[in-house]
Amino acid sequence: MDTPSDPWTIGRLLTWTVEYLGSHGAENPQLDAQVLLAHARGCQRIELYAAYTESASDELRTKFRELVKRRAAGTPVAYLVGHREFYSLDFEVTPDVLIPRPETESLVVALLDRAKLRKASASAGELPMEIVDVGTGSGILAVCAAKYLPETRVTAIDISPAALAVARRNAARHGVEARIQFLEADLLSAEPAEPRFDYIVSNPPYISSAEMTQLAPDVRDHEPHLALCAGEAGTEVIARLVEQAVPRVKPGGSLLVEISPMIAAAVEELVRKRPEFELGPTVKDLAGHARVVQALRRSS
pTM for the whole structure: 0.90
Whether the per-residue pLDDT at 124 is higher than 80: the answer is no
What does the pLDDT read at residue 126? 65
Q: Which pLDDT tens digit goes with each residue over 97-111?
A: 999 999 999 999 999
Candidates 3, 7, 4, 9; CA nearest to 37 is 9
Q: Which pLDDT tens digit goes with each residue over 220-271?
A: 889 999 899 999 999 999 999 999 999 999 999 999 999 999 999 999 999 9
Whether the per-residue pLDDT at 69 is higher than 60: the answer is yes
What does the pLDDT read at residue 25? 87
**For 48-53, what is the mean pLDDT?**
92
Q: Could you tell me if 71 and 32 are in contact, meaning their C-beta atoms sit under 8 angstroms apart?
A: yes
> What are the extents of the domains in the chain?
10-73, 95-297
What does the pLDDT read at residue 118? 79
- Tell me the percentage of the chain whose pLDDT exceeds 70: 96
- 84 versus 128: the higher-pLDDT residue is 84
What does the pLDDT read at residue 157? 98
Q: Tell which CATH classification among 3.40.718.10, 3.40.50.150, 3.40.220.10, 3.40.640.10 matches the domain 95-297.
A: 3.40.50.150
What does the pLDDT read at residue 122? 66
**For 59-80, what is the mean pLDDT?**
95
CA angle 297, 176, 240 (to 5 degrees): 35
What does the pLDDT read at residue 217? 86
In order of 143, 215, 250, 276, the CA distances from 118 in angstroms are 20, 38, 12, 19
